[in-house]
Structure 1
Amino acid sequence: MFLLSTLLPAPVVAVGQLAPAGSHATARLHGVAVTPHPPTRAVNYLIAGVAPDYRAPGVRAPEHFRGNTDSLLLLQLDPVSNTVRTLSLPRDTRVWLPGFGWGKLNSALPRLGPDGMVRTVERLTGLHLQAYVLVNLDGVRHLTDALGGVDIYVPQNMTYDDTAANLHIHLTKGWRHLSGVQAEQFVRFRHDAMGDIGRAQRQQTFVNALARRLLAPSGAARLGVLPGVLQRDIRTNAGARDLSAALGMALHWPRVETFFLPGRFLTVNRGSFWEMDATAARRTLANFGGAPATAAARDVRALRVALISSGGTAAQLARVQERLWQAGYRRIFVSRREVPPGRASAVLSNASASEASRVRRDLGFGVARASGQGSVYADVTVWVGWDAVPRPLASRGKAPPK
């Protein structure tokens, strides 16, 4: 999937075209055929989008893959559960950079090099990384065009112009079939109330759109064009075994789970950072095989629950809020965040599917899943869709305060 499209040619690793071999896909690494073999255990990779260097307004310097990173994504292939997991790491995450002190995660690559960037993420998450993949600015554009575009819901009108960086964003709200240029605009836009955090969540949306495209019946036919398309857009220390693992996972049509590094906004010496919430991060990283989180379920009275309309009416939102209050939840709020309209209801938790399932049971509707696409201000997010009909209680409690 996304890893399959990124563990491809580079000066360190040069991969040829995917080609049919019997009923299976193969790839060629230094002229040697690589056959698909899923990993025997979960393996992690770091994918980093490298910002371009502009020597003059609108003029990019030759690509050296040592600029700041606009986006960072930890990606896991888990053959046991046949799952691909991603963890979005905000570029402004506050980290310790040896020799430089506290700084932003996006500066780890130019200051410490790719290996130092990997070690920084390993210290942050406690997870071992198998390899890194650096993707330049053109990678999103070329990959999207190779797949024939992607379908994405643009949550707001996006307008921004930066002549010096040759960045011009003009996207209108609604469902859109984005070309490569438009997809690049979508993942780079950060000029709204959420800034880098909103951009990191949009990058999750883009990864999911890529997965849907590749998992569609016609997706397998597009795999063969990816190595050649991305040949000049990637630098990686991944080897033949990594490509074999990615091919093996892709051919098993894994499910995709997306997570977000939990934290809070922080200002230090007039600098804006994203400070990781260590307690919440342990719960999220437990999904990746990190240190086990506390086994006991959290008290529902302490859970922050965000309600977002995904097609539900104001009356349905009110009924959902009342039902949660009756079930003992006390930290409930309605968010105005835009999500794709017309969707069925869903309950999302950035910690675990079991936490989402508990809220779903109390509500009596929707689909529960682990996902970092909910509100960053909540533990659990409920997308209230057209099908939102809360389960009635045998004995009604007090209504929530107005």
Structure 2
Amino acid sequence: MKSFFKIFFKWLIIFFVLFFVINIFIGMSFDDSDLTFLLMGIDASNVKEAKGVRSDTIMLFNLDKKNDKLSIVSMPRDTRTSIDGRKYKEKVNHSFAYGGAELTTSTVSNLLGIDIDYYAVVDYDLVKNFIDLIGGIEIYVPVDMKYEDPTANPPLHIDLKEGQQTLDGDKALQYLRFRKGYANADLGRIDAQQEFLKVVINDTLSLRNIPKIPKMIQLYKSNVDTNIPLTMVMRYGFSAIINSLDIETYVLPGSPKMLNGVSYYIHDEEATKEIINQIFYIN
């Protein structure tokens, strides 16, 4: 009798797994629409408790499933733009402190002239735990990175040497949080972040990480504030594993400028339209 129940429950589990996977693939086969969302990284250890903080990183993602292409547009945090409810133009990262992910998403949507339905906000714990989960990443550190700020939340201790190396979760955080040593300031940091993302995405989508998907889902639930349904994440994730992605990265075109003693990044509207048209195939 015990043997019967073992076999029964084993096949019951296999049935539900197959049912779930088949439904994912059915969803993929009939849905070739793009997935567009805004990714925001915040200066906090816990995304669930972060209120009144500014976003540290803002990136637009567009996954074009039909052409197996992922486009990423980084927004310099000092980009000057209009924010709903504010009298004057301000830095785009201020919007998160005023109204959270929803306000930042609508702000970037208005800035770029496109609809952005989804958002995802991640915290430091997600980065650290996720990189440790996939076994670290191999990346080239472009400059010596050394900086201390015990008053930061969490405290900031950065000490990385230039060169190719393996970063665990803690060192990956150091790499991402470093900002004051690049020759071209925030744009240099954006280049480093984009390179980091390319490596992490390619590593994550490798077959060896498939057994880690349940733990990835746990991290997603506990360290990501998002309105993207988990089933949608799974659908597009499996599609990306099966079909190798062509990853293209962009930086919002523009240049730094001082206005009334404040340093801003003024985006080039025409050059921005060209990038958006290229990503979304707008004629």
TM-score tier, shorter chain, comes to 0.7 to 0.9
Name the counterpart of 2:54.
Answer: 68
Could you tell me which runs of 5 or more consecutive residues in structure 2 were left unpaired when the two chains were aligned. 1-14
The Cα shift of 1:290 comes to 6.3
Alignment of 1:231-270 (within 5 A): 231-251=221-241, 252-270=243-261
CA distance 1:278–1:163, shift in 2 (3 Å) = same
Specify the code of the residue in structure 2 equivalent to 1:246: Y
More helix by share: 2
Q: Percent of aligned positions with the same letter in both sequences?
A: 26
Number of equivalenced pairs: 261
Q: Distance in 2 between matches of 1:187 and 1:221?
A: 27
Partner of 2:6: none
Distance 1:243 1:61 in 2: 19
User: 1:218: Cα distance to partner?
Assistant: 1.6
The 1:20/1:247 distance shift into structure 2, 3 A limit, reads farther
Q: How many Å separate the matches in 2 of 1:250 and 1:291? A: 24
- Quick one: distance in 1 between partners of 2:211 and 2:93? 35
CA deviation vs aligned residue, 1:4-33 (integer Å, no higher than 9, x gap): xxxxxxxxxxxxxxx9934x975xxxxxx9
Which residue does 1:88 correspond to in 2?
74
In structure 2, C-alpha distance between the alignment counterparts of 1:283 and 1:25, rounded to whole Å: 40
Q: Which residue of 1 aligns with 2:201?
A: 211
Q: 1:303-314 counterparts in 2 under 5 A?
A: none
The reply to whether residue 195 of structure 1 matches residue 181 of structure 2 is no
- The amino acid across from 2:256 in the alignment is F
Cross-structure match for 1:174: 163
SS of corresponding position for 1:256 = strand
Q: 2:17 corresponds to which residue? A: 21
Alignment map for 1:84-233 (pairs within 5 Å)? 84-100=70-86, 101-165=88-152, 166-192=155-181, 193-233=183-223
TM-aligned CA distance change 1:240 to 1:233, over 3 Å = closer
For structure 1, which runs of at least 5 residues remain unmatched after alignment?
A: 1-18, 27-32, 54-59, 293-402
Counterpart-to-counterpart distance in 2, 1:84 and 1:205: 14
Cα deviation code 1:74-127 (max 9, x no counterpart): 111111211121111111111111222211111111113322211101111122
Residue type matched to 1:145 in 2?
D
8 A contact 1:68–1:108 mirrored in 2: yes
Q: 2:268 aligns with which of 263, 271, 277?
A: 277
* Other structure's SS at 2:89 match: strand
Aligned to 1:48: 40
> Which amino acid is 1:213 matched to?
D
Task: Decide whether aligned partners of structure 1 residues 253 and 225 sit closer, same or farther in structure 2, where only a CA change above 3 A counts.
Answer: farther
User: Does the 8 Å contact 2:47/2:225 carry over to 1?
Assistant: no
In the alignment, is the contact (CA less than 8 A) between 1:204 and 1:258 conserved in 2?
Answer: yes
Hey, what does 2:7 align to over in structure 1? Answer: none
By how many angstroms is 1:40 displaced?
1.9
When residues 255 and 223 of structure 1 are mapped into structure 2, their CA distance, relative to the original with a 3 A threshold, is farther
* Aligned CA-pair RMSD: 2.5
Q: 1:227 Cα shift?
A: 1.2
**In structure 2, distance between residues paired with 1:131 and 1:65:** 20
- The one-letter code matched in structure 1 to 2:245 is P
Larger Rg: 1
- Asked whether the equivalents of residues 48 and 223 of structure 2 are also in contact (C-alpha less than 8 Å), the reply is no
Highest RCO, 1 vs 2 (Cα 8 Å, sep ≥ 6): 2
Q: CA deviation at 1:238?
A: 1.5
TM-score calculated relative to the size of structure 2: 0.84
User: 1:370-397, CA deviations, whole angstroms, 9 ceiling, x for partnerless residues?
Assistant: xxxxxxxxxxxxxxxxxxxxxxxxxxxx
Amino acid aligned to 1:187: L
The answer to whether the 8 Å contact 1:77/1:249 transfers is: no
CA–CA separation in structure 2 for the residues paired with 1:275 and 1:290: 25
TM-score, normalised to structure 1, is 0.60
Counterpart residue number, 1:286? 277
Residue identity matched to 1:21: V
The structure-2 alpha-carbon separation of the partners of 1:172 and 1:281, relative to structure 1 and needing over 3 Å to count, comes to same
Q: How big is the shift at 1:136?
A: 1.2
Q: Indicate the SS of the match to 2:93.
A: helix
* Matched AA of 1:174: G
**1:137 CA drift (Å):** 1.8
**Partners of 2:23 and 2:51 in 1: CA distance:** 26
Moved more, 109-118 or 33-42: 33-42
Q: Secondary structure at the match of 1:21?
A: helix
1:82 alignment partner AA: D
Is this contact kept in 1: 2:80–2:90, CA < 8 A?
Answer: yes
